[in-house]
Structure 1
Amino acid sequence: MQDFRFVMPYRVRVADINYGGHVSNAAVLNYFQDARIAYLAALGPYSELAIGGGRGLIMPESHVRYHAEMFLGDDLLIGVRAVRLGRSSFELAYRIARGEELTVEGTTPLVAFDYTARKPRRLPPEFRHAIESYDAPAASAPAEPC
């Protein structure tokens, strides 16, 4: 987790387990969401519905790669960091580990979205600055052409 400034602990609950006896795919996306919400709060007074300028965030897709099973009661660490910052979107990378063992990696692109107008918008300058200040090396990747 050394590449991640933001890391949060999580203990696997019974509700996270599927019929195979390990953490379900849906639970992993919930872990990403819980960590994303905590990451946004660490940036400042932000949430998925409020990043400034009347904008929230919308997630058009997610990518998950599983490396090892996770089980009931496992103590996990979930890291989040910005890996790309564009004009209207940015991408977060996630890493989940049990001790030193990598269990899951993933990414989610997030787009600034005006929920009233139901349209994508540019990232508010204050929010961009918060990401750049918190994850400066990761956020310096080239912007997408939006």
Structure 2
Amino acid sequence: MARIKIELPSQFIYQTEIPVRITDLNYGGHMGNDVLLSMLHEARMQWFASLGYPSEVAIEGVGVIMTDAALVYKAETFYGETLQIHLALTDFNKYGFDVVYKIMGKQSAKEIAHAKTGLVFFDYSARKISPIPPPFLQKVKD
């Protein structure tokens, strides 16, 4: 089976820290793989909030919807670690873009994972994709 490879950009536009909670551990005693996607969602929400958007469904009159996700694990992480989640935007098109993440352990200094989520803008009232709103594009391109 071919391995997924996620190309990391040279620069990231946003960083946040999220602690690994005791409830994030699985039966193996390390953070569960399902938890990482939730942490990426939290990091993405914090980034949207930093741009003045309180919700992923309230971005210049439309919202975003995830079209795909890829996760590549590099190391285990455990309770007590704080994850540093770095976020970058790539592959813009008419309707959306990819968010690329680098996840590092703050205390361990280990590279924990790389990830990518594809987002498209979505008009939730019409239930269809929508072009990227120009005011949003201007905020993220500056």
TM-score, length-scaled by structure 2: 0.87
- Partners of 1:122 and 1:42 in 2: how far apart? 22
- Partners of 2:19 and 2:80 in 1: how far apart? 6
- Structure 1 position 17 matched with structure 2 position 38: no
Give the corresponding residue for 1:106: 115
- Partners of 1:42 and 1:84 in 2: how far apart? 21
What's the CA shift for 1:47?
2.7
What's the CA shift for 1:48?
0.8
RMSD: 1.6
Letter in 2 for 1:15: T
1:1-146 matches, cutoff 5 A: 3-45=11-53, 47-52=55-60, 54-99=61-106, 100-133=109-142
Moved runs in structure 1, 4+ residues, more than 3 A?
Answer: none
What's the CA shift for 1:46?
5.1
TM-score, length-scaled by structure 1: 0.85
What's the CA shift for 1:84?
2.1
- Partners of 2:87 and 2:110 in 1: how far apart? 17
- Partners of 2:85 and 2:41 in 1: how far apart? 11
Structure 1: stretches of 5+ with no match in the other structure: 134-146
- Say which is worse superposed, 29-38 or 79-88, in terms of deviation: 79-88
Give the corresponding residue for 2:6: none
Aligned identity (percent) is 35
- Partners of 1:120 and 1:75 in 2: how far apart? 35
Give the corresponding residue for 1:143: none
- Partners of 1:47 and 1:90 in 2: how far apart? 17
What's the CA shift for 1:16?
0.7
- Partners of 1:51 and 1:59 in 2: how far apart? 14
What's the CA shift for 1:25?
1.2
Letter in 2 for 1:96: I
What's the CA shift for 1:3?
2.5
What's the CA shift for 1:4?
1.9
- Partners of 1:55 and 1:5 in 2: how far apart? 22
What's the CA shift for 1:45?
2.8
Letter in 2 for 1:14: I
